[in-house]
């Protein structure tokens, strides 16, 4: 299946497995996505390979950042009906607390969109949305 076919399949069925399997980093960290109406919730399952500090144990900060950035790109792709992965221009991440070795969630919101650039706000949490482990702002180039 080609990328446009995978995107169309994902949009029509709500099944993200083929899309996520076609993105090597998403597949490696185990990224998953669920649609609830128009909302997308991204999940990072418990996975030993994602740990950076085995003593706590805590998820590696780079994995959290990659999870959030990839979530924002997929969110933007799905909301814009784009047939290719948007290009990241800038990514700013604030770590708020340790991401312990448990299932982690992320939610994205489009905060601004122009003709060429879109801004997405990402929040990641574990046990409670009211206690995020990280927040981020991503800026994407929409066209070449």
Q: Any idea what the CATH number is for the domain that residue 49 is in?
A: 3.10.129.10
Question: What pLDDT does 1 receive?
Answer: 55
Contact 98, 56 (CB under 8 A): yes
Mean of the pLDDT values across residues 14-36? 93
Task: Work out how many domains the chain is built from and give that number.
Answer: 1
Look up the domain containing 107 and give its range.
3-141
- SS3 assignment, position 35: strand
For 30-69, write each residue's pLDDT tens digit: 999 999 888 899 999 999 999 998 898 999 999 999 999 9
Strands 58-59 and 87-95: unpaired
Question: What pLDDT does 101 receive?
Answer: 95
pLDDT at 5 over 70: yes
Mean of the pLDDT values across residues 74-98? 87
pLDDT at 129 over 80: yes
Work out the angle between the directed axes of helices 61-80 and 3-13 (0-180°, nearest 10).
80
The pTM of the whole model exceeds 0.85: yes
């Amino acid at each position: 299946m080609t990328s446009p076919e995978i995107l169309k399949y994902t949009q029509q069925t709500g099944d993200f497995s083929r899309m996520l399997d076609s993105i090597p980093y998403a597949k490696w960290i185990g990224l998953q996505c669920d649609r609830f109406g128009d909302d997308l919730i991204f999940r990072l399952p418990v996975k030993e390979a994602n740990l950076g500090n085995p003593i706590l144990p805590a998820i590696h900060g780079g994995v959290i950042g990659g999870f959030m950035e990839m979530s924002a790109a997929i969110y933007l792709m799905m909301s814009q009906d784009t047939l290719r992965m948007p290009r990241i221009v800038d990514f700013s991440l604030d770590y708020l607390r340790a991401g312990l070795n448990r299932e982690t969630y992320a939610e994205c919101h489009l905060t601004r969109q122009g003709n060429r650039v879109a801004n997405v706000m990402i929040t990641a949490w574990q046990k409670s949305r009211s206690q995020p482990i990280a927040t981020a702002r991503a800026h994407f180039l929409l066209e070449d």
